[in-house]
Amino acid sequence: MIEKIDNPEQLSAWTQSDLFSVRILALLKSYGCQYRFCSFYRQMNGEKMTAVISKLDGNVTIALTKEFDRDELVRFLCLIGYATVLVSDAFELNPRYSEGVVMACSRKPETQLNGVELDEYPKLMDLYNFVDYAEQDFKAWYVDISHRVRHGTAKAYTLNVDDEIVCSGVLSSLFEGDAVLTAVRTRDDMRRRGYGSTLVKAICNDVKGTVYLMRDADLNEAFYQQAGFVNVGKWRMYQ
């Protein structure tokens, strides 16, 4: 049975830690159950929770246990509609998807900030311009990220040289010590100088638990491994 929740406590029994769970639970902590644009659900098998689901506008994220009911989830998604579905490769929905690797880092690697300044509270306009969110409207992005930052479910970082941003990273989801890392970018003329690795290591040191990220299957594996990440699974984005 899949049911919509109206109280965050209804997901309190979900103790699984993975990229998808952190995304869902951080979103729940950020917005709760009172907004029309954001909704949450759980799949139950008797007293056991087998999946949790969030829907933000049309974008769905699903976290699964091994006992999830695939057919019921497919029917549910057809009922509520979706623009995208982010889930592990354990779930099959349709042939239209992109796929990549989930990585995780629980280590606290040593790092030295030589000649650079770590800014844990950069101006969001500067960050938006630096990352170049080409397909993301600034107002919508700013409202969401600033709301999350205020609720302790997101955090932004930059490395600066002479007061100019050379590298960025964003923890877009934070929940009970675990986090999801996004928007890692180094300025083109500052690449291959160790700035990106330095920032990623500093972010991992700042997070108490595990840092997760999504990467394309054929990109940046060595870079993140050098920073302490390991491959832990695959993600799929269905459309």
Q: Does 8 have pLDDT greater than 80?
A: yes
Q: Which CATH number fits domain 103-233: 3.30.470.20, 3.40.50.2300, 3.40.630.30, 3.90.1150.10?
A: 3.40.630.30
Q: Does 134 have pLDDT greater than 80?
A: no
Question: Hey, what's the torsion of the CAs at 144, 103, 123, 34, to 10 degrees?
Answer: 20
Q: Does 111 have pLDDT greater than 90?
A: no
pLDDT tens figures, 173-230: 999 999 999 999 999 999 999 999 999 999 999 999 999 999 999 999 999 999 999 9
Q: Topology of 2-93 in CATH?
A: Aminopeptidase (3.40.630)
Tell me what pLDDT residue 88 has.
98
Q: What is the mean pLDDT of residues 105-111?
A: 86
- pLDDT more than 90, % of the chain: 93
Cβ neighbour number for residue 183 with a 10 Å cutoff: 18
pLDDT tens figures, 22-59: 999 999 999 999 999 999 999 999 999 999 999 999 99
Identify the CA nearest to 28 among candidates 50, 11, 51, 48.
11
Tell me what pLDDT residue 132 has.
85
Tell me what pLDDT residue 135 has.
78
Identify the CA nearest to 105 among candidates 152, 169, 191.
169
**How sure is the predictor about 13, in pLDDT bands with cuts at 50, 70 and 90?**
very high
Tell me what pLDDT residue 109 has.
78
H-state helical runs in 66-123: 70-80
Give yes or no on whether 2-93 and 103-233 have one common fold.
yes
Q: What is the mean pLDDT of residues 162-182?
A: 97
For 151, phi then psi, to 5°, come to: -95, 5
Tell me what pLDDT residue 141 has.
93
Question: Mean pLDDT of all residues in the chain?
Answer: 95
Domain ranges of the chain: 2-93, 103-233
Give the global pTM: 0.95
For 149, phi then psi, to 5°, come to: -60, -45
pLDDT tens figures, 120-130: 999 999 999 99
Taking CB atoms within 8 Å and a gap of at least 24, the contacts of 162-165 are: 165/122, 165/126, 165/127, 165/130
